[in-house]
């Protein structure tokens, strides 16, 4: 059996954990630049605040019902996610971290009669140890576990559902609309609905030949088997190293100055280079992209298309200064005077292990010295605060930086912002 542990209203739960005065009160968390609602507490959902709605559109509701509003605090959410996942690893033999607030767990060694008590115990321990409430769905396949979890979060019955019989499986599938099935996208949902297939049970009853012909061959067959209780997507072991690393952000406001654009790209390179060093990798291929802001209201596109350039370095590196130096000419090539820009991003490709750097016979490489410098830089910034020491090219508190006007404290990752008990 496979289970999925899903943190309830995760961002809101993280904020409420350090603000007990907000228990039973409506909370929303906003996206980058305080743009749209990306997380809602149960109380906020009862006020019919839609997911994804722009913040300015719900200001009357916020004021009327005294809704607590927070900017996204990724340091806090990332740290709390790590605590939840670490707790799960101590409780179950095998775990696949699926997202920041979800993880699949292996329950194959749990006797059938003990599945419900075991999952309830896991839920209790996770909340006791981390303060984060979770829901758990259990089934013979990943897809059925996801659907079980969706069901319990919707009905709020015990927040644990175990699909361990054929009868429970069929009853669950009959209650799940086709567009809610994990792996069925918008176009397939429309296609299936037009053919009278409106729920999971009806899809599971279709023949394999029909699935193979109409739902993408192997991918569709895998979904079909999962709906029928056959595990075709086993737990994935975590990747030791990512195949690419990058950082991109929307600007706090549109910018048209080349120097500000360079500052933003340099800052994003610094962040991406930290990720690179964390997984002990180096790169020799650097992409830079920027997004022009389009004022044409009659454009057929819903969002502007980015423009990009890349460069292949003479040798692989993980040093922030070397990567910034290589990126600045790319920014100059992409920049158009008078144009306003709303976003930038950097991506490192062709990653290699840091302990297997190939030297270049025709280029001087100070890799050992640069490695020591970056280690010192990372240690200081981790111990003090992000960007405590940084390169001048990155600027300091510029207008391009992301808006986070309602951001909470770094309760768990910054010593100076720990909660004080009197």
Please compute the mean of the pLDDT values over residues 181-200 and round it to a whole number.
86
Condensed to tens digits (0 to 9), the pLDDT of residues 27-54 reads: 999 988 888 899 999 999 999 999 989 9
Q: pLDDT tier at 301 (50, 70, 90 boundaries)?
A: very low
Note whether residue 421 is domain-resident: no
Condensed to tens digits (0 to 9), the pLDDT of residues 387-410 reads: 777 888 887 767 777 777 888 888
Residues 138 and 275 in one domain: no
Q: pLDDT tier at 362 (50, 70, 90 boundaries)?
A: low
Q: Of 21, 55, 75, at which residue does a domain stop?
A: 75
Note whether residue 118 is domain-resident: yes
Residues 297 and 384 in one domain: yes
Note whether residue 422 is domain-resident: no
Residues 341 and 283 in one domain: yes
The total number of residues written for the chain in this structure: 422
Note whether residue 15 is domain-resident: yes
pLDDT the model gives residue 300: 45
Residues 263 and 384 in one domain: yes
Residues 116 and 210 in one domain: yes
* DSSP letter, residue 361: T
Note whether residue 38 is domain-resident: yes
| CATH code for the domain of 55 | 3.40.1170.60
Contact 161, 134 (CB under 8 A): no
Residues 161 and 60 in one domain: no
**Between 160 and 364, the higher pLDDT residue:** 160
**Between 368 and 121, the higher pLDDT residue:** 121
| CATH code for the domain of 95 | 1.10.150.20
Using CA atoms, how far residue 31 sits from 40, 52, 69, 165, in Å, is: 12, 9, 11, 41
Condensed to tens digits (0 to 9), the pLDDT of residues 196-209 reads: 888 888 888 888 88
pLDDT the model gives residue 124: 94
Residues 263 and 187 in one domain: no
Closest by alpha carbon to 94, among 86, 102, 104?
104
What is the helix (H) or strand (E) element at residue 110, kind and residue range?
none
Residues 115 and 211 in one domain: yes
Condensed to tens digits (0 to 9), the pLDDT of residues 225-256 reads: 988 888 888 888 665 567 888 888 888 888 88
Residues 113 and 59 in one domain: no
Condensed to tens digits (0 to 9), the pLDDT of residues 269-281 reads: 998 998 888 888 8
264-291 burial: b if 16+ Cβ within 10 Å, else e: bbbbbbbbbbbebbeeebbbbebbbbbb
* DSSP letter, residue 34: G
Domains identified in the chain, total number: 3
Rounded to 5 degrees, φ, ψ at 150 are -60, -40
Residues 325 and 373 in one domain: yes
Q: Of 16, 46, 75, at which residue does a domain stop?
A: 75
Q: DSSP E strands: which ranges in 8-141? A: 27-30, 37-40, 68-70, 95-99, 102-106, 134-139
* DSSP letter, residue 177: B
Task: Beginning with the edge strand found earlier in the chain, give each strand of the sheet holding 95-99 in spatial order.
Answer: 95-99, 102-106, 2-7, 134-139, 160-162
pLDDT the model gives residue 298: 44
Rounded Cα–Cα distance for residues 214 and 210 (Å): 6
- Mean pLDDT, the chain, rounded, equals 85
pLDDT the model gives residue 93: 79
| CATH code for the domain of 354 | 3.30.1490.100
pLDDT the model gives residue 145: 93
Number of CB atoms found within 10 A of residue 102's CB: 20
Note whether residue 239 is domain-resident: no
Residues 89 and 223 in one domain: yes
State CA 319 to chain mean position distance: 26
Q: Of 43, 75, 107, at which residue does a domain stop?
A: 75
Contact 226, 233 (CB under 8 A): yes
Note whether residue 12 is domain-resident: yes
Q: 17-21, 260-264, 418-422: lowest mean pLDDT where? A: 418-422
129-148 burial: b if 16+ Cβ within 10 Å, else e: ebbbbbbbbbbbbbbbbbbb
Domain housing 32: 7-75
Rounded Cα–Cα distance for residues 188 and 214 (Å): 9
Burial of 200 (0-12, 13-18, 19+ CB in 10 A): buried
pLDDT the model gives residue 215: 83
Note whether residue 205 is domain-resident: yes
Residues 209 and 265 in one domain: no
Rounded Cα–Cα distance for residues 331 and 321 (Å): 15
Whole-prediction pTM: 0.78
């Amino acid at each position: 059996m496979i289970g999925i542990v899903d943190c309830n209203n995760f961002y809101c739960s993280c904020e409420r954990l350090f603000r007990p005065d907000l228990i039973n009160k409506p909370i929303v968390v906003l996206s980058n630049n305080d743009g749209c609602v990306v997380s809602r507490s149960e109380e906020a959902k009862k006020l019919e605040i839609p997911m994804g709605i722009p913040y300015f559109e719900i200001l009357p509701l916020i004021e009327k019902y005294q809704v607590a509003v927070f900017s996204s605090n990724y340091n806090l959410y990332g740290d709390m996610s790590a605590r939840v996942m670490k707790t799960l690893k101590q409780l179950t033999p095998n775990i696949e971290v699926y997202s920041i607030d979800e993880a699949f767990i292996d329950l194959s060694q749990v006797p059938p009669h003990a599945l419900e008590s075991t999952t309830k115990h896991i839920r209790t321990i996770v909340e006791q140890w981390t303060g984060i409430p979770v829901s758990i769905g259990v089934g013979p396949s990943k897809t059925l576990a996801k659907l079980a979890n969706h069901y319990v979060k919707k009905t709020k019955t015990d927040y644990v559902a175990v699909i361990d019989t054929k009868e429970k499986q069929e009853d669950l599938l009959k209650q799940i609309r086709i567009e809610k099935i994990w792996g069925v996208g918008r176009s397939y949902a429309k296609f299936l609905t037009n053919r009278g297939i409106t729920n999971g049970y009806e899809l599971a009853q279709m023949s394999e030949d029909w699935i193979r012909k109409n739902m993408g061959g192997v991918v569709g067959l895998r979904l079909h088997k999962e709906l029928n209780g056959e595990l075709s997507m086993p737990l994935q072991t975590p990747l030791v190293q990512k195949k690419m690393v990058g950082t991109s952000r929307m600007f706090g406001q549109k910018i048209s100055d080349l120097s500000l654009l360079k500052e933003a790209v340099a800052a994003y390179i610094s962040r991406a280079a930290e990720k690179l060093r964390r997984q002990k990798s180096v790169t020799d291929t650097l992409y830079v992209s920027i997004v022009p802001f389009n004022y044409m209201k009659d454009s057929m596109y819903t969002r502007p298309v980015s423009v990009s350039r890349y460069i292949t370095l003479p040798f692989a590196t993980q040093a922030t200064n070397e990567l910034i130096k290589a990126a600045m000419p790319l920014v100059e090539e992409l920049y158009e005077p008078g144009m306003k820009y709303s976003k930038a991003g950097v991506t490192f490709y062709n990653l290699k292990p840091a302990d297997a750097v190939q030297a270049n016979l025709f280029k001087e490489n100070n890799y050992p010295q640069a490695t020591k410098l970056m280690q010192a830089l990372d240690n200081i910034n981790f111990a003090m605060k992000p960007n405590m020491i940084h390169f001048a090219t990155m600027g300091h508190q510029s207008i391009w930086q992301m808006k986070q006007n309602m951001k909470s404290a770094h309760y768990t990752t910054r010593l100076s912002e720990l909660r004080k008990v009197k």
